[in-house]
Structure 1
Amino acid sequence: MFGLDEITTDGFLGGRLSIVQPAAGYRAAADPVLLAAAVQARPGQAVLELGCGVGVASLCLGWRVAGLALAGLEVQPAYAALARQNAAANRQDFEVFEGDLAAMPAVLRSRTFDHVIANPPFFAAGSGTAARDPGRETAQREATPLGDWIDAGLRRLRPGGWLTLIQSAERLPDILAALGRRAGSVTVMSVAPRPGRAAGRVIVRARKGGRAPFRLMAPLILHDGPAHLRDGDDYSAEARAVLREGAALPGPDT
């Protein structure tokens, strides 16, 4: 567990959500907010987040879409505890389970969902330099291969359900290979930091049993202008609507 001097309280969605998270461990930023914005959920549907951390993605989604049955799986007990605390503080029902997706708790293996969402670790095992903080290292570097994340998500989906991921752009070929023929109606949205810059992230959506053609969406550009030239943020209008106002991103049905 984290002590009071080891956590911070941060606002998300323009202060609409108040989130406690580790001061020195893995800290949620824009990625889980973008992930939530990409999910075209409807009231009454069930959503499972794999690797939910402190709950930012699920709670952002729950703020935008009322009446969802939200569940999360988190391997690090201290982060799972903060996720429960955040759900209570923001008055949302969010069922958080502790466990590894490679050996998922039996209660989750017995359930299916309309949506499964995930922000898997970006770095492959053995690549780069390990983070000093173990919580950050667990969140950012694969202990379970990316293909296993996708397999676990597809297994928990109902027929016709949607898997939504945000990942490093360089991992897109791995994602498409892992999806194979098990899911279709795939859409990809690239996320670039500025106009003319290469995408750093991709948001991938795939439907279990889907048959629609592959669709490459218009990119999301996070910041206006070629460089940061003034104090404060310089988000594009579309990014500001998502990150500050809780708006949804365009999806397969738009």
Structure 2
Amino acid sequence: MRDAQYTIDAFHRGRFHVVQPKGEGHRSGIDAMLLASLVASDGPVSVADLGSGAGAAGLAVASRLEKAVVLLVEKFPVMAAYARSSITLPENAFLADRVRVIEADVTLTGKARLAAGLEDEVHDHVIMNPPFNHAGDRRTPDSLKAQAHALTDGLFESWLKTAGAIMKPGGQLSLIARPLSIAEILAACGKRFGGIEITPVHPRPGEDATRILVTAIKGSKARLAFRAPLIVHGSDGHSFSPDVDDLNNGRAAYKRRGKVSGRA
């Protein structure tokens, strides 16, 4: 990492910390914490965080769930280096032996995917915060950030194909995305995932949703469900609503409505 080009940021009210780029690349915040909150388990659980960046979401899972083992999967070497630095922080010693990083392109298939360390049917949960900017969106001059945020054609299909391959039967897919991607997400789930639950996330009361939380179960035949919306900010428009504050700070999980055998 370049000297003085990063910050060390506290999450879960100082429970764990993340080394993040200061002037380039993607910086994690509430999106990563909401994504992490979708993983709920009372026992040992294996979690893969695809496109993990500096590792905030995966580290948040390991912070909240003492029996979780987490694999951070990141394509860009510079971001993988931030993730490795995060793991070795003294503040993160309590989770360091349960988190590891591999550099791999999520879109790899077949033998190339296996060679990169993405093994078949080993994870109970796969989480992801895929790139979300469409071609018509205003582009950032930061090339690393632009690549991390650029939504390309077929992205959800390729990412969910990998998620399904590395996930155990009955495992849970969790992702956060923009609402305009909902059709692509449903199409990519196809016959791989069922029991899809979608939660719209609204910044404030009366404002349109800017994110959706999606969970689904590998091989499930259960029907699609739309859940009650999450409102990020309370009546004052600035502070977090109580439910979101709990999710953002690792005090609670956002559990599925549908029950999954062997999982909370």
TM exceeding 0.5: yes
The equivalent position to 2:147 in structure 1, one of 125, 138, 151, is 138
Tell me whether 1:161 sits opposite 2:160 in the alignment: no
In structure 1, the gaps of 5 or more residues are: none
Aligned to 2:130: 120
- Measure, in 1, the Cα distance between the counterparts of 2:249 and 2:44: 25
- CA distance 1:134–1:203, change in 2 (3 Å): same
- Measure, in 2, the Cα distance between the counterparts of 1:24 and 1:111: 37
The equivalent position to 2:106 in structure 1, one of 95, 101, 108, is 101
Aligned to 1:52: 52
Letter in 1 for 2:251: G
Aligned to 2:73: 73
- Measure, in 1, the Cα distance between the counterparts of 2:121 and 2:102: 13
- CA distance 1:240–1:162, change in 2 (3 Å): same
Q: Matched residues, percent identical?
A: 32
The 8 Å contact of residues 50 and 128 in structure 2, kept in 1 or not, is answered as yes
Aligned to 1:179: 189
Deviation at residue 145 of structure 1 after TM alignment: 1.6
Tell me whether 1:189 sits opposite 2:188 in the alignment: no
- CA distance 1:130–1:102, change in 2 (3 Å): same
Deviation at residue 195 of structure 1 after TM alignment: 0.9
In structure 2, the gaps of 5 or more residues are: none
Deviation at residue 250 of structure 1 after TM alignment: 3.3
The equivalent position to 1:235 in structure 2, one of 226, 235, 240, is 240
Q: Specify the SS of the correspondent of 1:14.
A: helix
- CA distance 1:146–1:127, change in 2 (3 Å): farther
- Measure, in 2, the Cα distance between the counterparts of 1:133 and 1:105: 31
Spell out, residue by residue over 1:77-116, the C-alpha distance to the aligned partner (whole angstroms, 9 max, x if none): 1111111121222122211100211223522134521111
- Measure, in 2, the Cα distance between the counterparts of 1:175 and 1:24: 31
Runs of at least 4 residues off by over 6 Å: none
Spell out, residue by residue over 1:226-246, the C-alpha distance to the aligned partner (whole angstroms, 9 max, x if none): x64xxxx51101111111343
- Measure, in 2, the Cα distance between the counterparts of 1:134 and 1:100: 18
So what's the TM-score if we normalise by structure 2?
A: 0.88
So what's the TM-score if we normalise by structure 1?
A: 0.91
Aligned to 1:14: 13
Letter in 1 for 2:173: L
Tell me whether 1:23 sits opposite 2:22 in the alignment: yes
The 8 Å contact of residues 185 and 211 in structure 1, kept in 2 or not, is answered as yes
- CA distance 1:108–1:42, change in 2 (3 Å): farther
- Measure, in 2, the Cα distance between the counterparts of 1:245 and 1:101: 27
The 8 Å contact of residues 121 and 169 in structure 2, kept in 1 or not, is answered as no
- Measure, in 2, the Cα distance between the counterparts of 1:187 and 1:120: 18
| Equivalences, count | 247
- Measure, in 2, the Cα distance between the counterparts of 1:42 and 1:127: 43
Aligned to 2:84: 84
- CA distance 1:81–1:42, change in 2 (3 Å): farther
- CA distance 1:223–1:33, change in 2 (3 Å): same
More divergent stretch after superposition (186-195 vs 79-88): 79-88
Letter in 2 for 1:94: V
The 8 Å contact of residues 60 and 246 in structure 1, kept in 2 or not, is answered as no
More divergent stretch after superposition (3-12 vs 138-147): 138-147
Spell out, residue by residue over 1:126-158, the C-alpha distance to the aligned partner (whole angstroms, 9 max, x if none): 332322112211211135622211111111111
Q: Specify the SS of the correspondent of 2:249.
A: helix
